[in-house]
Amino acid sequence: MIVAAIERREIVAKVSFIDEILKYDSLSIVGLQKNTGKTECLKYVLARLPLDQKKVAVTSIGIDGETTDQVTRTQKPEIVLREGMYFGTSEAHYRLRRLVSELVDVSDESTSLGRVVTARALTQGKILLSGPSSTLGLQRWISDVRRHDIDLAIIDGALSRLSLASPAVSRSMILATGAAYSINMSQLVQHTAFVVDLINICVTSERNIALLGPIEKGMWWIDTDGELHEMEAVTSLSQQVQFHGMDHCCAIYVAGALVDSFLEKVRKNKALRQVELVVRDFTKIFVTPQQLRMFEKTGGKISVLQKSKLIAVTVNPTSPAGYVLDSEELCDRLSQAIGLPVYDLLKN
């Protein structure tokens, strides 16, 4: 009876996992580290999407589908596409496909392996995916496949490329983590939970979105009357950041990267103790947990203009070196830390 109940809960969790994906028109699957199970997650999703309900297109910002990892020399899962799926890959890898397909587009987007081509699978088969490698390239590719009435565009990420999980690219995401990042379970849980906290940072007010949304460069501040002012420093990396005349500041917008040194300067300025720091999205935040905690403790807060929906977190308890963490304990501890379902997809 107990075993049956557990199996039922796992089935419900799996179904809701896929059902949640179907609520969005774009999905990024990203890994905290190489060999955290990102490609296994992609395989899991592709095998279970209801193609009778949704037209699906998939691409990758790295190279996915190789049988052997070129760095660690470990075995890698191959990508299997189902009939009817659209895919974007380089010319070189398109020629190596092991399926029958219909070519629908050849873009101007170039990679080291040739132009990015888009095709529709006419039979089930294996493919090497190597699509656009920049935010702009991915945006263009998604826009192009929309012309074929695609309901869901899936982007498979690459090593530490969380920037391509930006809401500017996809509206939802799955995060893959595991022993490849750390074989110390406590350290792994803490780091993953911190990344999840960044992903889940709240969106700023609609007024701020309207005011700051069009601005792509520099640093700006908003006074208590809602007036926008440009700061002299171009980025938060500048050593010459000054806060003169900002006594009535209620929000600071950093269009680029937000780093520890800037966060510390804001925190130590008494006039800015309860200021709101606004960034475009979580991929622009490069601060340590310690600095963030101190900033929030003194009354400050960070918010974003855009936010992706984190659907789930997956784990690979095995490191490339062969160390294996306890899967059940890892999933339980991480789920408690982040308040989200955590899946070991290979075990399930």
Task: Please check whether residues 109 and 216 belong to one and the same domain.
Answer: no
Q: Does residue 293 form part of some domain? A: yes
Residue 348 lies in a domain: no
Residue 5 has pLDDT above 50, yes or no: no
Token representation of residue 162 = 């969380």
Residues 315, 295: one domain? no
Same domain membership, residue 317 and residue 274: no
Domain of 299?
206-304
- Quick one: pLDDT band at residue 64, thresholds 50, 70, 90? low
Residues 331 and 295 placed together within one structural domain of the fold? no
Q: Report residue 122 as tokens.
A: 């006419």
Q: pLDDT digit string (tens) for 186-227?
A: 999 999 999 999 999 999 999 999 999 999 999 999 999 999
Residues 6+ apart with CB under 8 A from 83: 51, 121, 122, 123, 124
Cβ–Cβ < 8 Å for 90, 131: yes
Angle between helices 185-199 and 327-338 (to 10 degrees): 40
Nearest to 21 by CA among 44, 4, 39: 44
pLDDT surpassing 90 at residue 66: no
pLDDT band at 76 (very low <50, low <70, confident <90, very high): low
Do 258 and 172 have their domain in common? no
Residue type present at position 163: S
As for how many domains the chain has, the answer is 2
Tell me, yes or no, whether 8 and 143 share the same domain: yes
pTM higher than 0.75, yes or no?
yes
36 & 149 share domain: yes
**Amino acid of residue 162:** L
- Least Cα distance to 126 among 166, 164, 85, 185 occurs for 85
Same domain, 245 and 334: no
Mark whether 125 and 240 lie in a shared domain.
no
Q: Indicate if 175 and 43 belong to the same structural domain.
A: yes
- pLDDT tens digits, 245-254: 898 999 999 9
Q: What is the CATH number of the domain that holds 152?
A: 3.40.50
Residue 19 lies in a domain: yes
Note whether 120 and 263 are same-domain residues.
no
Residue type, 286: F
Nearest CA to 24 out of 44, 5, 45 is that of 45
78 and 189 together in one domain = yes
Q: Is residue 16 part of a domain?
A: yes
User: Where does the pLDDT of residue 236 fall: very low under 50, low under 70, confident under 90, or very high at 90 and above?
Assistant: confident
Evaluate if residue 285 carries a pLDDT over 90.
yes
Name the CA radius of gyration of the chain, rounded. Answer: 22
